[in-house]
Structure 1
Amino acid sequence: MSAPGPAATPQPPVHVPVLLERVTELLAPACAAPGAVLVDATLGLAGHSTALLDAHPGLRLIGLDRDPDARAEAARRLEAAGHADRVTLVPAVFDELPDVLDRLGVDEVQAVLFDLGVSSLQLDRPDRGFSYSTDAPLDMRMNPEAGRTAADVVNTYPAKELARVLRVYGEERFASRIAAAIERERAREPFTSTARLADLVRASIPAATRRTGGHPAKRTFQALRIEVNDELGVLERALPAAIEALAVGGRIAVITFHSLEDRIVKQTLAEGATDHTPPEMPVPLPEHSPVLRLLTRGGEAASDAEVAANPRSASARVRAAERIRRAA
């Protein structure tokens, strides 16, 4: 029998950025501008940012992420790609963008990217508690050092409030039934693990419904993650700030993964692309003209080929717009 070889070096997780080709195409004109600055507001593993830095040698990146594990891995990947000298990584939630730019002395930027939802790193690390497919602590914090956990929500929210979270953020039809089951079971023993919660959700949903639509706990886990991280509130605050930071000719692209996010993005970009001249005025007024030009027709989805190669892209949609004038 041959002697055992040296232990294999752990390999970093494979990261496949969704809608990569379309996003780089949408942001290319802005990123090619002399002295261009790209803000990746949801850095993750820096897949999109690395591609844009590869394509635009003069581009500078400001990357925001609240997750220290993601920032560390992104920094390693960006350095390996030879881009460390053009990168500034900041521990921040993306609604802190105005403060971040102010601290860095940046008055305006040429491109902003949001890739919303859970990063590959978070999904692929079971101990973070984002996945219902493996047993792990019931956490779900994007910043592991901040705020309440999913266990806190599950164990302390009144049943009525818990049902609201599941119904609104998870679009869960059986929210009240699941919340009542959680209230009953947590009185016996507090929830601490993803597996126990996933099993309870499965048992709370009618058998006929369980047979379609993916894992029965998917909507509950989405709702808890959104609540724990205030994802929709952060997005509602961040989008107007990002648009305000764009230079004329600058572009914003936003990738969403569920209808709640997409609705906020759609409404915000549409508002910026609308003429707000009062209806009683006989002609459009320049100071009320649109500040944005939409670059996508609705939310553009991944191709069939991309979904086949990367199933996580199946629910992804991208919307983008260009800043065409300064606000009055």
Structure 2
Amino acid sequence: MPHISVLLNEVLQLLDPKPGQFFIDGTTDGGGHAAAVIERIGSTGMFLGLDWDKGMVERLKDKFKTVKGTVMVEHANYADVKDVLQRRKLPKADGLLLDLGFSSAQLEDERGMSFQKDEPLDMRYDLTGDTPTAANVVNGLPEQELADMIYQYGEERMSRRIAKRIVEERKRKKIITTKDLADIVAAAVGKGYEKGRIHPATRVFQALRIYVNHELENLEKILADCADIVKPGGRIVIISFHSLEDRIVKTRFREKEKEKIGRIVTKKPITATEEEIRQNPRSRSAKLRVFEMA
């Protein structure tokens, strides 16, 4: 399944990259947004792309190796952009892009991101570290913490019942695959869950992915660091895919505007057109917000 960049035209319009400028893509992923930005900044421009997935970084380096101009691709968490700039002795950027959705490639990479296939329950974006997997979490967290995590990050109202069932089942047999977990969740919530609108495991899988990868903490960190990353007049463009992320972006942008650090460009989030949703159903939940540094 090829990765299709979400809201590409809107990103380009709002970032407005020009020849000779410096842009950062903190979630370079398949490189769709990046390629379009690199084309516009030209041979005199400078581009820094980060991705947490080492395999993705190798593919990106290969993709951009013939590009004329300064294109740097690094295996790093976007939360560490400030440190990367300091280490590479790079200036503040004209713009920063974050697409917070996970990649189609990661869905196909047997990481256990989806309950649609039976795979090892991993869910880490970065497979090079020794951070706990989703299996470690569901087999190791105490019941109360498990329930809190599912409620907080999955906004799942049946979190207590689900956590209780997980703990009961893991005493019998270790939970190691996506099917193991999906079946346990489905059994816990029973028939008629959300009147069949979503799979019973949807919110639990979201919660685990966010927890395992520290997604909300990473977002908070880069928003706190943005004055050290983007120059005055430069823009921060963030695409989020669920309400927890969007709420953080919206709240922090408002706080920064009150502190006169800059201004909100998008009073309401930009969403995909019906045409884009038809071509790429994943874009349906995307919300794009923009902040311009003062």
Alignment TM class, shorter chain as reference? over 0.9
Cα separation, partners in 2 of 1:116 and 1:84, compared to 1, 3 Å = farther
**Match among 139, 153, 173 for residue 137 of structure 2:** 153
Q: What residue in structure 1 maps to residue 157 of structure 2?
A: 173
Q: What residue in structure 2 maps to residue 281 of structure 1?
A: none
Cα separation, partners in 2 of 1:155 and 1:184, compared to 1, 3 Å = same
2:3, 2:103 within 8 Å by CA — same for their partners in 1?
no
1:25-104 aligned within 5 A: 25-28=13-16, 31-32=17-18, 35-57=20-42, 58-79=44-65, 82-83=66-67, 85-104=69-88
Report the 3-state secondary structure (helix = DSSP H, G, I; strand = E; otherwise coil) of the residue aligned with 1:293. strand
Q: What residue in structure 2 maps to residue 20 of structure 1?
A: 8
Deviations 1:103-126 (CA, angstroms, capped at 9, x unpaired): 11113111100111312221222x
Cα separation, partners in 2 of 1:84 and 1:119, compared to 1, 3 Å = farther
- Shift of residue 129, structure 1, vs aligned partner: 1.1
1:97, 1:242 within 8 Å by CA — same for their partners in 2?
no
Q: What residue in structure 2 maps to residue 9 of structure 1?
A: none
Aligned amino acid, residue 98 of structure 1: K
Q: Distance in 1 between matches of 2:194 and 2:179?
A: 17
Aligned amino acid, residue 128 of structure 2: E
Q: What residue in structure 2 maps to residue 141 of structure 1?
A: 124
Structure 1: stretches of 5+ with no match in the other structure: 1-12, 277-289
Q: What residue in structure 1 maps to residue 217 of structure 2?
A: 233
1:75, 1:84 within 8 Å by CA — same for their partners in 2?
no
**Match among 237, 249, 255 for residue 265 of structure 1:** 249
Deviations 1:21-59 (CA, angstroms, capped at 9, x unpaired): 10111001xx21x63111111111111111111223133
TM-score by length of 1: 0.86
1:151, 1:191 within 8 Å by CA — same for their partners in 2?
yes
2:22, 2:41 within 8 Å by CA — same for their partners in 1?
no
Q: Distance in 1 between matches of 2:45 and 2:100?
A: 22
Q: What residue in structure 2 maps to residue 4 of structure 1?
A: none
Q: Does 1:256 align with 2:240?
A: yes
1:45, 1:71 within 8 Å by CA — same for their partners in 2?
no
Report the 3-state secondary structure (helix = DSSP H, G, I; strand = E; otherwise coil) of the residue aligned with 2:196. coil
1:116, 1:255 within 8 Å by CA — same for their partners in 2?
yes
2:82, 2:228 within 8 Å by CA — same for their partners in 1?
no
Q: What residue in structure 2 maps to residue 204 of structure 1?
A: 188
Q: Does 1:295 align with 2:283?
A: no
Bigger radius of gyration among the two: 1
2:99, 2:239 within 8 Å by CA — same for their partners in 1?
yes
Deviations 1:250-307 (CA, angstroms, capped at 9, x unpaired): 1110000001000111111111111x4xxxxxxxxxxxxx121211122211111111
2:237, 2:291 within 8 Å by CA — same for their partners in 1?
yes
Q: Distance in 2 between matches of 1:243 and 1:84?
A: 29
Aligned amino acid, residue 322 of structure 1: E
1:294, 1:320 within 8 Å by CA — same for their partners in 2?
yes
Aligned amino acid, residue 26 of structure 1: L
1:251, 1:321 within 8 Å by CA — same for their partners in 2?
yes
Q: Distance in 1 between matches of 2:230 and 2:41?
A: 18
Aligned amino acid, residue 25 of structure 2: D
Q: What residue in structure 1 maps to residue 275 of structure 2?
A: 305
Report the 3-state secondary structure (helix = DSSP H, G, I; strand = E; otherwise coil) of the residue aligned with 2:285. coil
1:3-14 aligned within 5 A: 13-14=1-2
Cα separation, partners in 2 of 1:241 and 1:84, compared to 1, 3 Å = farther
Q: Does 1:315 align with 2:259?
A: no
Q: Distance in 1 between matches of 2:69 and 2:172?
A: 55
Q: Distance in 1 between matches of 2:101 and 2:6?
A: 12
| Range with greater deviation from structure 2 (311-320 or 296-305) | 296-305
Q: Distance in 1 between matches of 2:108 and 2:69?
A: 29
2:100, 2:239 within 8 Å by CA — same for their partners in 1?
yes
- Shift of residue 210, structure 1, vs aligned partner: 4.7
TM-score by length of 2: 0.95
Q: Distance in 1 between matches of 2:78 and 2:32?
A: 17
Runs (4+) of structure 1 moved beyond 3 Å?
none
Report the 3-state secondary structure (helix = DSSP H, G, I; strand = E; otherwise coil) of the residue aligned with 2:150. helix
Q: Distance in 1 between matches of 2:108 and 2:96?
A: 26
